[in-house]
Amino acid sequence: MSGAGGEGRKSGRAPGAASPVALHSPWRHAFFHRVFTRFATKHLRAVRIARWGLPAPLPGVPLVVFANHPSWWDGVAFTLLSTRLFPDRTMYVPMEAAALARYGFMRRLGVFGIETGSPRGAAAFLAVVREVLASPDRMLWINAPGRFCDARKRPVPVVPGLTHLPELAPEAQFLPLALEYPFWNERAPEMLAGFGPPVSAATLLAMPREARAAHFAAALEASMDRLAGDALSRDPSRFETLLRGREGMGGIWQGWRHLGAALRGRRFDPRHDPGAGA
């Protein structure tokens, strides 16, 4: 008991709290990636990434993805995007401890709890991040606002903890990620994503800490504004489709339409607006 408490004080974690690196389970991550994939294909029309927003390869350095926070879907987006676009890296994600208590299985997926609003919680968060970013095959995904925030809100809020991270990992690269979930011409929404150009820790370390928040916000806003333009176009050809979900209304009505097309010898297209692109 005393040994566990001493380890907690040295690491900055709460006494008895296990390291997220030690807890991470690759097979559980693979299993829940399949679960989240099925869930996304059932409830989304597609998962798409802007052609300009495919992430640049950044081998050999730790990586921090800082995203906006428009929706509950962000956690699913992190899992789907990290697995498909960064298959050689292990993802870690902070979550408010009270929320994580309701989803305990996520501790095995690289999610770790943070205690907000206290110096002890801030110290514990920075200690875990230091451990995560100590290896170039790991990456940290974080919602920069720290709370749900509409994709149109400007300026984008940035949690204070983000500005400390370059000091913990001077070799790291910081990658902005814009997310949106618009409804286009079908029943289900789209999941749209776009990564901006990376920002090096060295660039951020050359600034006073108080100036880093504005730099993070500006980099993220640039990606969000560009993604918003693509979302407004409703043009799927501007995106790479990573995952395709269900189209059409579903249910009895869609079954009736399918039967009618078969009786007429026609190919059935479930989309509400077939002329709007795939």
Does residue 5 fall inside a structural domain?
A: no
Boundaries of domain holding 254:
248-278
252 and 182 within one domain? no
257 and 166 within one domain? no
| DSSP string computed for 3-59 | HHHHHHHHHSSPTTPPPHHHH--HHHHHHHHHHHHHHHHHH-SEEEEEGGGPPPP-T
267 and 212 within one domain? no
Distance CA 183, CA 37 (A): 19
Residue scoring higher pLDDT (265 or 22): 22
Q: Taking residues 25-41, what's their average pLDDT?
A: 95
| DSSP string computed for 136-181 | TTEEEEEETTSS---TT-SSPP--HHHHHHHHH-TT-EEEEEEEE-
DSSP summary character for residue 183: -
Q: Taking residues 38-46, what's their average pLDDT?
A: 95
* Confidence at 253, pLDDT banded by 50, 70, 90: very low
166 and 110 within one domain? yes
pLDDT reported for residue 273: 56
Residue scoring higher pLDDT (115 or 231): 231
Q: What element of type H or E holds 94?
A: strand 90-96
3-state DSSP percent of the chain in helix, strand and coil, to 5: 45, 20, 35
pLDDT reported for residue 55: 95
* Confidence at 5, pLDDT banded by 50, 70, 90: very low
252 and 193 within one domain? no
Residue scoring higher pLDDT (277 or 32): 32
Q: State the number of CA atoms in the 13 A half-sphere of 65 facing the CB.
A: 32
Q: Taking residues 134-162, what's their average pLDDT?
A: 94
Examine the pLDDT at 77 and tell me if it is beyond 90.
yes
221 and 180 within one domain? yes
Examine the pLDDT at 272 and tell me if it is beyond 50.
no
Does residue 3 fall inside a structural domain?
A: no
The rounded percent of the chain whose pLDDT value lies above 70 is 82
253 and 162 within one domain? no
149 and 272 within one domain? no
Residue scoring higher pLDDT (124 or 174): 174
Distance CA 47, CA 81 (A): 9
61 and 95 within one domain? yes
274 and 170 within one domain? no
* Confidence at 66, pLDDT banded by 50, 70, 90: very high
Examine the pLDDT at 54 and tell me if it is beyond 90.
yes
pLDDT in tens, 86-106: 999 999 999 988 888 888 889
Most confidently modeled range among 5-9, 252-256, 266-270: 266-270
Distance CA 178, CA 165 (A): 20
Does residue 252 fall inside a structural domain?
A: yes
Query: Angle of helix 209-233 relative to helix 160-168, nearest 10 degrees?
Result: 110
209 and 148 within one domain? yes
Bridge pairing between strands 239-244 and 90-96: unpaired
CATH number at residue 57: 3.40.1130.10
Distance CA 175, CA 54 (A): 11
Residue scoring higher pLDDT (268 or 210): 210
Does residue 7 fall inside a structural domain?
A: no
Does residue 74 fall inside a structural domain?
A: yes
Examine the pLDDT at 17 and tell me if it is beyond 80.
no
Structural domains of the chain, count: 2
Examine the pLDDT at 154 and tell me if it is beyond 70.
yes
The model carries a pTM of 0.84
272 and 142 within one domain? no
